Amino acid sequence: MITLKINNRTVEVEEGSTILQAAEKLGIFIPTFCHDDYGRMPAKHCSNCTEYGDCKMCSCEVEGEASLLTACNTQAEEGMVVWTESEEVKKARTDILYRMIATHPLDCMNCKKLGDCKLQKYCEMYGVKDPLYEIPFEHREKDLSNRFYYQEMDKCIRCGKCVRTCRELVGIDALVMAQKGSNAYVMPKGGATMAETNCVSCGNCVSVCPVGALMPKSLYDFRQWEVKKVRTTCAYCGVGCQIDFSVKDGKIVDATPAYGPSNQGLLCVKGKFAYDFINHKDRLKYPMIRKNGKLERATWEEALDLVASKIKEVKENYGPDAVAGFSSARTVNEDNYLFQKFIRAAVGTNNVDHCARLCHSSTVSGLATTLGSGAMTNCIAEVKEADVIFITGSNTTETHPVMGMYVRQAHRMGKKIIVADPVRIPLADLADIYLQINPGSSVALSNGMLHVIFEEGLEDKEYIEKHTEGIEQLRECVKKYTPERVAEICGVDKDLIIQAARLYASTHKSYIAYAMGITQHVNGTDNVTSLSNLALVTGNMGKKGSGVNPLRGQNNVQGACDMGALPTDYPAYQKVFNPQVQEKFEKAWGVKLSPDKGYTVTETIPAILEDKVKLLYIMGENPMVSDPDTNHVRHALEKAFVVVQDIFPNETTEYADVVFPSTAFAEKDGTFTNTERRVQRVRQVVPAKGECRDDWWTLMQVMNRIGYSCHYDTVEDVFNEMRTVTPSYAGITYEKIEKAGVQWPCPTEDHPGTPILHVNGPGRAGGGLLKALEWQPSPDLGDPEYPMTLTSCRILYHYHTRTQTDKVPAIHFTAPRNWIELHPDDAKELGVQEGDWVKVSSKRGSIYVEARIVDTLQPKVAWMPFHYAEGANVLADSSHLDPVSKIPGFKQIGIRIEKVSAQKAKELTAQAQNDAIEYYENEDPKIIRYEEKEVEDLISARKEG
């Protein structure tokens, strides 16, 4: 420790602390512009370079020093005597401020940053009013080209924080500081406007700008003193970023990143800018009942009574197993807990599942079998502490954007990266080894890497001996997966396989991150298991910066699984067919429970078509877009009595018999569990709309009406009941997670939570299971009628089936409709050019989409985003499922592509233009404040005939 004096007060700080940190410890304020409050970007003052923090606003007087020293990057020393507000310091700061305002428009009353501007605040503090002198500077036009924010460079104070944030934290490097001195300014890198750069619109530059030079294209006018801030958890992906929402007059008017353990003060475009769907006019605002084929407004009493009577009728006539329910990875843990309790205890069946079946059920089945727990073994941010990062089947920068930023940060730190993916994802450009494998060849790749590891003696013999079983069978199995054979299966150079194996096995800090490119296959469980084989054989388990880390897609998919929204599992993966577990839940819930495994999502749809299920209750899911083989789903929904709880009308409510309006994430309290098992608070930020009610409340009403008596006053009551039957959540309370979330398992209230699993060896009884696996080709491929392979993925801008993100105009116009990506050779063979319409067919159906020609795919492999109705899931196969997890093979669909006729193309173009105009005209004109030039041109062209 070091002792120093600041303003005549003594303080003790750790060695290596800066003067600024020492002052903060004493509660002494030192003004800063370019300093990063979270310490993520160490100050690098440099007189030759304006990009690296050169504001000098934190200059202080240090006794014995000839000149002032900057507090943010000067280390505190033993016996140092510092003065933070001496006359010399004040003069220096005043000079800096005068220099800044000499080139800054002093139009504060009209600036949207008023009240939140550091320049304004410091000028007030140091009595700086009018400019003392004028410095000639070049006026710059506002850059409005980005859909989400604008730049007003006349207001830039040249602190360089945005440039550094984009480069060092986000890893995109879309900004650069041009020129020097008073003419220095921030400019787009690689283009004339921001729209021409590789900007990903994450808005982190906007969040760190201390003045009004970078501002959100906010739909609302507000001043800082008019808003209250409420912290909650982002509802758009499994990273679980913490957000501070600003609320004025009951509406969210702004979002800023908070410093949560998983997001470290960063957000992506959705967290930062895509919140206004909450106020969208299309929100469901009252219950509806289908009458004469149309959904009509009903009272809550009518709708609840009808649903209850239907459930009772179906139970009486066909038994409880004729009812099934889809719970939701979008909503809070409490809703999910109550949903599965409703289906199990009140209805009497285990027919409860949710869309994790379609994304990561193979993770749960794979990792639970081999390790004893089907969840991320390590933390998200730990990826920066790994020596080697192996990313496979995850387009991380698109689907888990803040995690993608960490991988970019790790790359800047010199960490090694291996990417294996059929699509040349953006992170492949940073990779030391990139394997462009054929879709569905992951088991072969892992086996090939294991073959090399065993051949070269790179395995961790001690770890294998102490913590695993099944090594001999695995060793025997991978003998035949020589690099030559695997190279043929995977379609990559054998040397790359050898190099990847050596690099992965070279350290005990190799971190595997994977997502649906691994799980969404008919052998998804084997794909997952093959990755756990790799980690166990090399001892990359139970240590910081290692492990097997499934990146769960939706915001609460981990929580929905933990809560038992699965047909085989009560909360915390306690099996329904285990008599002791059944007895425990019967005692807790006071009813007899079914010991029979229920239908999965993918089994429910056929069960409806086979007349086994008569009533489907859906909470917050949209199977008409998310489930495979849309036509098949449509027939089932037409047949069953369908109840939907949701926040928007969507493709599924079109088939609903009763619709209940729900609250959106920012209108409710509760908890989400992010992909690293961290249970975090979700807080009500704004009041519920119309007659919308929380999902748990609606479920409680239905449960009571069908004869299962239950009462909860608050959502916290539901949480507290849940933790009495959920051992891994038992020690988590709302109070405990008030400030920061806790990672399960957390068995007791004094337990701190568990950031890393399997520290003392895999939790599975008997140790980590090494499984001998054989590579299997996909059953949907190989038909000459459908000679190409379609793979799909999420994109950065949309969330799941777009019910929320498509209501945000800036998002909608960024990705308004579906498309397909093709290799140039395939495009040539098909006679297709960029932007042409094509017909894509599989054995299940056909769709029409625009073609884009890319250099990120191998020939005969096509790619499509997942999110659109009349999209990839019309083509997907629901008849072949992974035998263990029942997940379909979304990532390998056999397709045929044909160029459409000129007449058909004309009709499709006209339809697309109509859709664009309709969207534009249907929006509140206040909402579309920044005109969509393309659509405006279309409208004027139409007016002109």
**Which region, judged by CB under 6 A, interacts with ligand SF4, from 50-58, 261-269, 481-489, 560-568?**
261-269
- Specify the residue, 184 or 234, whose C-beta has the smaller distance to ligand SF4: 234
What kind and span of H or E run contains 113? none
Of 401 and 440, which has the nearer Cβ to ligand SF4? 401
Contact 411, 171 (CB under 8 A): yes
Q: Which residue lies nearer to ligand SF4 by CB, 206 or 241?
A: 241
- Kindly tell me which of 263 and 333 has the beta carbon lying closer to ligand SF4: 263
CB-facing half-sphere around the CA of 154: CA atoms within 13 A: 13
Can residue 268 be called a binding residue for ligand SF4 (CB under 6 A)?
A: yes
Backbone angles phi, psi at 822, to 5 degrees: -130, 150
483: tokens are: 């690099």
The residue (of 633 and 685) whose beta carbon lies closer to ligand SF4 is: 685
With binding defined as CB under 6 A, does residue 895 bind ligand SF4? Answer: no
Closer to ligand SF4 by Cβ: residue 13 or 268: 268
User: CA–CA distance from 548 to each of 66, 389, 427, 775, 909 (Å)?
Assistant: 54, 11, 19, 20, 45
Q: In angstroms, what is the minimal distance from the CB of 909 to ligand SF4? A: 32
Mapped onto helix, strand or coil, the DSSP state of residue 182 is: helix
- Give the bridge partners for 82, in sequence order: 6, 62
Which of 60, 234, 355, 428: binder of ligand SF4 (CB under 6 A)? 234
Q: Is 152 exposed, middle or buried (0-12, 13-18, 19+ CB in 10 A)?
A: buried
Distances (CA, A) of 262 to 138, 382, 406, 412, 795: 41, 9, 10, 19, 21
User: For ligand SF4, which is the closer residue by CB, 330 or 614?
Assistant: 330
How far apart CA 555 and CA 242 sit, in angstroms, is 12
DSSP, residue by residue, 774-835:
-----TT---TTS-EEEEEE--SS--TTSTTGGGSHHHHHHS-S-EEEE-HHHHHHHT--TT
> Smallest distance from the beta carbon of 399 to ligand SF4, in angstroms?
9
CA-closest candidate to residue 562, choices 375, 377, 808: 375
Cβ proximity of 376 and 677 under 8 Å: yes
Rounded least distance, CB 408 to ligand SF4, Å = 13
Of 271, 745, 753, 889, the one binding ligand SF4 (CB under 6 A) is 271
CB count within 10 Å of CB 206 equals 24
Shorter beta-carbon distance to ligand SF4: residue 270 or 509: 270
Beta strands in 647-803 (DSSP E): 658-661, 670-673, 678-682, 742-743, 768-769, 788-793
Residue 675 or 873 with smaller CB distance to ligand SF4 = 675
Given the complex with ligand SF4, which of 70 and 242 has the nearer CB atom?
A: 242
* Beta strand residue intervals within 22-75, DSSP E: 59-62, 69-70
Q: Using CA atoms, how far apart are residues 42 and 61, in angstroms rounded to an integer?
A: 21
Residue 237 interacts with ligand SF4 (CB under 6 A)? yes
Return d(Cα 233, Cα 680) in angstroms, integer.
7
Tell me phi and psi for residue 583, to 5 degrees: -65, -40
Among 188, 212, 216, 240, binds ligand SF4 (CB under 6 A): 240
Cβ at position 403, least distance to ligand SF4 in Å: 7
Comparison of 402 and 418: residue with beta carbon closer to ligand SF4: 402
Which range binds ligand SF4 by CB under 6 A, 263-271, 332-340, 350-358, 850-858? 263-271
- Of 263, 336, 409, 574, which lies in the binding site for ligand SF4, with binding defined by CB under 6 A? 263
> 280-339: which residues touch ligand SF4 (CB under 6 A)?
none
Stretch that binds ligand SF4, among 396-404, 410-418, 489-497, 557-565 (CB under 6 A): 396-404
Radius of gyration of the chain measured on its C-alpha atoms: 29
Please report how close the Cβ of residue 232 comes to ligand SF4 at its closest, in angstroms.
Answer: 11
Distance CA 661, CA 653 (A): 11
The span of 26-34, 312-320, 399-407, 700-708 binding ligand SF4 (CB under 6 A) equals: 399-407
Give the nearest distance from C-beta 236 to ligand SF4 in angstroms: 3
Question: In angstroms, what is the minimal distance from the CB of 329 to ligand SF4?
Answer: 13
Name the minimum Å distance from CB 257 to ligand SF4: 8
Angle between helices 483-490 and 442-455 (to 10 degrees): 160
Q: According to the binding rule CB under 6 A, does residue 427 interact with ligand SF4?
A: no
Contact segment (CB under 6 A) with ligand SF4 among 16-24, 264-272, 646-654, 657-665 equals 264-272
Query: Shortest approach of ligand SF4 to residue 727 CB, angstroms?
Result: 27
In the complex, the smallest distance separating the C-beta of residue 235 from ligand SF4, rounded to whole angstroms, is 7
**Residue 402 binding ligand SF4, by CB under 6 A:** yes
What CA–CA distance (Å, rounded) separates 45 from 459? Answer: 46
Distances (CA, A) of 455 to 279, 459, 464: 60, 9, 16
The total of other beta-carbon atoms located within 10 Å of residue 734's CB is: 16
Q: Which residues contact 925 (CB under 8 A, 6 or more apart)?
A: none
Residue 241 lies near ligand SF4 (rule: CB under 6 A): yes
Q: Is 288 helix (H, G, I), strand (E, B) or coil?
A: strand
Cβ-in-10-Å burial (0-12, 13-18, 19+) of 109 comes to exposed
Total of residues contacting ligand SF4 (CB under 6 A): 14
Q: Are strands 416-420 and 433-435 parallel, antiparallel or unpaired?
A: parallel
Q: Nearest approach, Cβ of 404 to ligand SF4 (angstroms)?
A: 8
Pick one of 11, 117, 184, 267: the residue that binds ligand SF4 (CB under 6 A): 267
Contact between 270 and ligand SF4 (CB under 6 A)? yes
Among 236, 275, 337, 848, binds ligand SF4 (CB under 6 A): 236
Q: Are 571 and 352 in contact (CB under 8 A)?
A: no
Using CB under 6 A as the binding rule, whether residue 515 contacts ligand SF4 is answered as no
Q: What is the dihedral of CA 877, 880, 883, 889, to 10 degrees?
A: -30
- Residue 401 binding ligand SF4, by CB under 6 A: yes
End-to-end CA distance of the chain: 78
CB of 190 to ligand SF4, least distance (A): 24
Any bridge partners for residue 847, and if so which? Answer: 840
CB of 682 to ligand SF4, least distance (A): 12
Q: State which amino acid sits at residue 502.
A: R
- State the nearest-atom distance from the C-beta of 741 to ligand SF4, in Å: 13
In the region spanning residues 46 to 85, those forming contacts with ligand SF4, defined by CB under 6 A, are none
Instruction: Closer to ligand SF4 by CB, 93 or 552: give it.
Output: 552
CB of residue 261 to ligand SF4, shortest distance in Å: 12
Taking the complex as a whole, the smallest distance from the CB of residue 740 to ligand SF4 amounts, in Å, to 15
Q: Which is nearer to ligand SF4, 375 or 796 (CB)?
A: 796
Nearer to ligand SF4, 511 or 641 (CB): 511
Q: Cβ closer to ligand SF4: 406 or 585?
A: 406
Nearest-angstrom CA–CA distance, 428 and 418: 8
Could you give the CA distance from residue 768 to residue 529 in angstroms, rounded to a whole number?
Answer: 11
Residues 803, 266 contacting (CB under 8 angstroms): no
Stretch that binds ligand SF4, among 66-74, 265-273, 734-742, 835-843 (CB under 6 A): 265-273
Residue 407 beta carbon to ligand SF4: minimum distance, rounded to whole angstroms = 13
Nearer to ligand SF4 among residue 234 and residue 644 (C-beta): 234
Chain residue at closest Cβ approach to ligand SF4: 271
Residue closer to ligand SF4, measured from CB, 85 or 244: 244
Q: Which residues bind ligand SF4 (CB under 6 A)?
A: 234, 236-237, 239-241, 263, 267-268, 270-271, 400-402
